[in-house]
Amino acid sequence: MRKQFFLFSFLLLPSIDLFSQRSLKLTDMRDYQYKNEASGGVRIQTNGFTIFGEYGWIKDIKRTRLLQLEYTYFIDYSQKKKKTQLPGGRDYVFGVQNRFHTIRVAYGFKRVIADKAARNGVCVSATFFGGVSLGLLKPYYLNLVQPTTDGTLIVRPERYTAENESRFLSKDSIVDASPIRYGLNQIQPVAGAHVKAGIDFDWGSKDQFVKALQAGVMIDVYYKRLPLMVNNTNRFYQAAFYLSFQFGKRW
């Protein structure tokens, strides 16, 4: 994954610089009447999904400055859910210590590298963002069998600790996953930063509407390793390819 990510980044950035140097033919002077744009969308990533909102200041027909706010839920697609042992119970993911979410604020730019035709067509732009990331570690709770002093067994929700590691990692002790409300009062913030670069394809038939698809790469870096899995080498970064769909308006 890392080799593919850095190879894609290496190939993408020179192409952005090359295309940005090409002159554009101004096919429609009405583009200059738009000074702002606002849009929102969803992003599918190789490590999760994102919803985001974006506001832009249009400098001229080629350049737009952008402010972006987004929320990401990270998913490790290699993790497989296990079947619960009891009827009516919830499935669970084995070995998960924390779920991870991120809120990002980023500033960036969009530069047109191929303008659309006078009517219809696709406008191709290069985009780049950089900003801060606030990671949120939410403990993952399992309903575990707990022996009592009188020899009976009870079931109670527990997060991973060094004391319950043997039961937390024993499939014979796991009943199912606890409801999502467990751990909401134990969320831990993790500060970081991120960058992303991509190619934007805007196919809106009218310039006042934003209808775009964007593909690119992104990476978040945090100040410490993220304890997402038990007995695993957890990283201090998250890197991904992404594909986003975006809709909005210019005025």
**pLDDT tens, 36-72?**
999 999 999 999 999 999 999 999 889 999 999 999 9
Q: Does this model's pTM top 0.85?
A: no
Q: Please tell me the least confidently modeled range out of 18-27, 118-127, 154-163.
A: 18-27
pLDDT, residue 222, reads: 98
Question: What's the pLDDT band for 5 if we cut at 50, 70, 90?
Answer: low
pLDDT, residue 162, reads: 92
**Domain map of the chain by residue range?**
2-81+103-137+182-250
Question: What's the pLDDT band for 172 if we cut at 50, 70, 90?
Answer: confident
Q: How is the chain classified by DSSP, letter by letter?
A: -HHHHHHHHHHHHHHHHHHHTS------GGGGG--EEEEEEEEEETTEEEEEEEEEEE-SSSEEEEEEEEEEEE--TT--EEPPSSTTPPPEETTB-EEEEEEEEEEEEEEEEEPPPSSS--EEEEEEEEEEEEEEEEEPPEEEEEE-TTS-EEEEEE---STTHHHHT-TTTEEEEPPTTTTGGG-EEEEEEEEEEEEEEE--SSTTEEEEEEEEEEEEEESS----BTTS---SEEEEEEEEEEEEEE-
- Report the chain's mean pLDDT, rounded to a whole number: 86
pLDDT, residue 115, reads: 81
Residue 138 has pLDDT above 90, yes or no: yes
The class of domain 2-81+103-137+182-250 in CATH terms is mainly beta
pLDDT, residue 12, reads: 55
pLDDT, residue 45, reads: 97
Question: What's the pLDDT band for 33 if we cut at 50, 70, 90?
Answer: confident
